[in-house]
Amino acid sequence: MVFLAWKRKREAEIEAEPVDRQEPKAARPTIGLALGGGAARGWAHIGVVRRLVAAGIAPDVIAGTSIGALVGGAHACGRLDDLESWAREMTKRRVFGLLDFRFGGAGLIGGGRLAQLLRDSVGDTAIEDLPIRYAAIATELSTGHEIWLTRGSLVDAIRASYALPAIFPPVKVAGRWLMDGAMVNPIPVSAARALGARVVIAVNLNADVFGRGTVIQDHGVEPEVAAEAMAEPEAEESRFGKVLRLVRRQAADYDGPRGISSVMVDAFNITQDRIARSRLAGDPPDVMVAPRLGKIGLFQFHHAEDVIRLGEEAVERALPEINEAIAALG
């Protein structure tokens, strides 16, 4: 009887209490960034991150490939300001000074100077100690496995992710020889989702470069053009002429055959673009951010100011779509 009396009293008290009929507010969904590869065009990632944070859309997860791993790692460990300042101060002379060329090794550039610069900035930071979830994407040399570096040295993970074949030597991490992750996953949407992202924003640095790639179904060479191309020079070329020809072959406005480094990197980026299209078709992001970088060369690291601005502008254009995705998936 005592229990029944207490129960009726408690029910009466509950009925008398004011009821808040507002719907409970859903927490913001987990935001993931998938930062793609693209060499110097990757400075656009700095502008992307800056504009997203300014709009209140700070990422909870970052998966990066190549320079995407570098910029994403810098943001994750709180050193994006340092990276941006260094990038904005970059000149052609400084770029060249960072390249420790060597012959006979596994890469044209040793990469020791860049690695030391990274260590001076990041130190011994471990990925598992970062305040946000992070993965750098790499490719295992012997097997072609896609490797997600989610623990251990942040510096080693970044170096492995940007180790462009034949340019930088492979990096050994936990017993595996690793190289550029763009060979298997150029824009790592899948990794961002696996790390818990509910909304994935992908950044494609090459959309404006290869976006109109198609199939030319009928193409050939006119007979007189072919004969002219095969003709031998009448006189022996001077040493100065050879040097001049090599310089011209590296120039961006030269319409003849490219130098070996340009050919190799262009071929790698065409392959990367085709792989990216296939991966994105099977696992598309919720929002794609595509900076307009068609006029930016792969090695124009000294154009950071313009490239960062283009990244910011790309996010500005995509903000309505980003906010819609967050509202829909929240």
Cross-strand bridge partners of residue 102: none
- Catalytic residue selected from 60, 156, 180, 286: 180
| 66 labelled catalytic | yes
| 306 labelled catalytic | no
Rounded-to-integer distance, Cα 69 and Cα 41, Å: 13
Q: How many alpha carbons fall within 13 Å on the CB side of residue 78?
A: 5
Active-site annotation, residues: 66, 180
